Amino acid sequence: MNLSVIGLGKLGAPMAAVMAHKGNTVIGVDVNPAYVTAIQQGRPPVSETGLGEMIEANRSRLSATLDYQEAILASDVTFIIVPTPSNPDGRFSMRYVLSAAEKIGTALRKKKDWHLVTLCSTVMPGSTGGRLLPALEWYSGKKRIEDFGLCYNPEFIALGSVIRDMLNPDMILIGESDERSGGILENLYRGACESHPRIQRMNFVNAELTKIAVNTFVTTKISYANMLAQVCETLPGADVDVVTAALGCDSRIGNKYLKGALGYGGPCFPRDNVAFSAMARRNGVPATLAEATDQLNRRQAPRIAEMILSRLPEGGTAGVLGLSYKPDTDVVEQSQGLAIARQLVSAGVRVVVYDPAAMESAQPHLVGNVVFARSAAECARQADVLAVTTPWAEFRGLTAADLKQAPRPIVVDCWRALDRAALASSAEFLMVGFGAGQPPECAQEAAAEAEGD
């Protein structure tokens, strides 16, 4: 098929590349000339695993332009993947979507053939049919179903694995204006996806609600695991990994996102949970669970920062390994590691940081007594207390020789990512979700026996 993708950022560029890889002719559109030039030259406009190779391999079917009309007239289906930033009340703004709608509608005025417009950006329930559709009809002078179709089709992906997730989704979610529009998208994805996903077709509002409900449910699961980890820390002998492994065996629960460690971050989970709460309150529904999830998540970084500060010697240096919100991305938005580093700096502590990909992204957010190390080992050698805040695979290679030699350092391993057995003789370990020592009942029994003797 002939496709156009409006927005060549973190999601749009991979989608354009994936669809070209699957044999479609794709033309991308962006207001940023640098992004357009990158695509035209066969380079990735953004950092994402495998994106450069996929763009280079499909240059014959992939192009880009600044001109909306050129893209619309040359395609049969248009995907809108533009930002929907959060408003002060937590709900998503439609200003970039409506700006794109104006340009798409104006181009549709000059097109004789039927056209499908598909919105992929996350929006509040009621937005696709209530705001985007009227805008398209107004600017195009045409009517839904008769002249064009409209779908809502959000992605369920994670930065760092966007291409893999697009090729192998669990589900394709389609909110459709009509049977024809939904059918076109279903056929397109059946040819593009390698995982044979379940395809869920429904009306706009159900699809919009499903999108933010999925992310809200996942964040609740993450916060539950983190609460459980904190409980485990109070019970000698308790191990959150052992407990969650057993919980995940229950088919009603499952083991995905059930890792007691640090809070969630990134550009989607935090704001989607807040948006869900805002929507519920606006409609007079208590958002107790979503609000509790958000509150618990906001407490994670201060909790770890306090753990570090309580063990840091006077004049000591704190090390933070991991500034991106997750491995395999340079994104630091709502990053737990970045939040911890900032709190340590605010407390007047000298902080040394390292991340394999996010050093440049993090620098504008870290001002003060901060050292940006050139490697994980360089960061570790300077740290009296070293915190592993993002589970990059690179960090697992740290050895005893990489740690500060004297005084004996403390390692706060938030993800249980390091080889504790290999490092235990050179460092004291504090592991999130792990209660050291004897269980309380064993200690009480031992004391009673001692008294009896």
Residue partners of 360: CB distance under 8 A and separation at least 6: 330
Taking a C-beta distance cutoff of 8 angstroms, is the pair 123, 97 a contact? yes
Helix, strand, coil % over all residues of the chain, rounded to 5: 45, 15, 40
- In the residue annotation, 193 being an active-site residue is answered as no
- The Cβ-side half-sphere exposure at 425, using a 13 Å CA radius, reads 5
State CA 202 to chain mean position distance.
25
CA separation for the pair 446, 437 (Å, rounded): 13
Q: How far apart are CA 323 and CA 272, in angstroms?
A: 21
Q: How many angstroms separate the most distant Cα atoms in the chain? A: 96
- Report the alpha-carbon distance of residue 6 to residue 2 in Å, rounded: 14
Q: How are strands ordered across the β-sheet holding 25-29?
A: 62-65, 25-29, 2-6, 77-80, 115-119, 148-152, 171-176, 198-202
Query: Within 10 Å of residue 89's Cβ, how many Cβ atoms?
Result: 11
Nearest Cα neighbor of 263 from 236, 229, 289 is 229
268, 379, 414, 442: the active-site residue: 268
> What DSSP line would sit under 341-393, residue for residue?
HHHHHHTT-EEEEE-SS-HHHHGGG--SSEEE-SSHHHHHHH-SEEEE-S--G
Structural tokens at position 87: 């408003």
Distance in angstroms (rounded) separating the CA atoms of residues 16 and 18:
6
Q: Show which residues are catalytic.
A: 268
